[in-house]
Chain A
Amino acid sequence: DVKVTQSSRYLVKRTGEKVFLECVQDMDHENMFWYRQDPGLGLRLIYFSYDVKMKEKGDIPEGYSVSREKKERFSLILESASTNQTSMYLCASSLSSGGRKTQYFGPGTRLLVL
């Protein structure tokens, strides 16, 4: 079974703080993704990575950055947290090969920025 883990289930931070969300997958997947989920807006892609040290912007990258130093680990960084970044953050991973694009998700981190 694919396992995607996220460093925290719940986080409370103050406006202006630097926030690190970490994601680890154990299935040697090439691709990793960060989404945020907000009521009525579905899942929106923030950034993704298709290889170590590679990153691509998703639909809403503003205010975020990412780091992928190792294949199994993908970090999302909020440089200066703001209240509008209060959300559920979801990490996912997938294989590159085989034509199938199934992404496997972690349990999510619910972030509250005060």
Chain B
Amino acid sequence: DQQVKQNSPSLSVQEGRISILNCDYTNSMFDYFLWYKKYPAEGPTFLISISSIKDKNEDGRFTVFLNKSAKHLSLHIVPSQPGDSAVYFCAAADTYSGAGSYQLTFGKGTKLSVIP
């Protein structure tokens, strides 16, 4: 049972345009969400996060939007750059569930290609 879903395995965007990566979740207890970026042969690096008490969080070119009623979040990258080409993982946490609250549940990732 996949609790965090990234339905697009890949996405191609022209340099300078907006990249929108989507993520859906099914567990209504999730209250903290993160995006990670991963280059080949490297570990994931933390990009941006959002708590369920917010619906938007911005950090430079990266903005995460959360729609709790739809159980949907998205990552917007504006403007997209060739260096943004990587696999992006969405992750979620239930921060109040005891020992399980230490865990993150990851989606399967979306490979973004930014075309120069």
Interface size on A, residues (CB 8 A): 29
**SS of B interface (majority):** mixed
Does A110 reach chain B (CB closer than 8 Å)? yes
Interface size on B, residues (CB 8 A): 25
- Whether the Cβ atoms of B106 and A42 lie closer than 8 Å is yes
- Whether the Cβ atoms of A110 and B41 lie closer than 8 Å is yes
Assembly CA distance A91 to B42 (angstroms):
11
- Whether the Cβ atoms of B95 and A99 lie closer than 8 Å is yes
Q: B-facing mask of A85-106, CB < 8 A → 1, else 0?
A: 0000011101010011111111
Q: Which residues of A contact B99 (CB under 8 A)?
A: 50, 56
Assembly CA distance A48 to B106 (angstroms):
15
Assembly CA distance A102 to B97 (angstroms):
16
Chain A residue at minimum C-beta to C-beta distance from B4:
A42
**A residues in contact (CB < 8 Å) with B:** 4, 9, 31, 33, 40-43, 45, 48, 50, 56, 58, 90-92, 94, 96, 99-108, 110
**B residues in contact (CB < 8 Å) with A:** 9, 32, 34, 36, 41-46, 49, 51, 89, 91, 93, 95, 99, 101-104, 106-109
